[in-house]
């Protein structure tokens, strides 16, 4: 049971942020080379989703100023 908790913690602490970082960088490279596309947008949105899993959501303002 303790091993499963350590494994889950390692995945959430290391693998998820690393995957989000890689997807964001790949999206930037694709957009720099070929321009914006559906695939690069999907990579960026996937990276945003993964960063949201860790609780690092962007602060939303109450009023959009």
Q: Would residue 27 count as lying in a domain?
A: yes
Measured CA to CA in angstroms, residue 32 lies from 10, 28, 52 at distances of: 33, 6, 25
Residue 10 lies in a domain: no
Is residue 65 a part of any domain in this protein? no
The string of pLDDT tens digits covering residues 9-64 is: 888 888 888 999 999 999 999 999 999 999 999 999 998 888 776 655 556 667 76
Instruction: Identify the pLDDT of residue 57.
Output: 54
Which three-class secondary structure state does DSSP give residue 33? helix
Whole-angstrom CA distances from 56 to 47, 52, 60 are 12, 5, 12
Q: What is the 3-state secondary structure (H, E, C) of 13-26?
A: HHHHHHHHHHHHHH
Residue 41 counted as domain residue: yes
Q: What's the domain range around 31?
A: 15-53
Q: How many domains does the chain have?
A: 1
Does 64 fall in a domain?
no
Whether residue 49 is contained in a domain is answered as yes
Yes or no: say if 26 and 39 are a contact pair by the CB < 8 Å rule: no
* 1 within domain boundaries: no
């Amino acid at each position: 049971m303790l091993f499963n908790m350590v494994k889950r913690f390692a995945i959430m602490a290391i693998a998820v942020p690393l995957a989000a970082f890689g997807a964001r960088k790949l999206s930037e490279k694709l957009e720099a080379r070929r321009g914006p596309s559906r695939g690069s947008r999907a990579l960026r949105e996937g990276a945003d989703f993964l960063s949201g899993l860790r609780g690092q959501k962007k602060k939303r303002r109450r009023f959009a100023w």
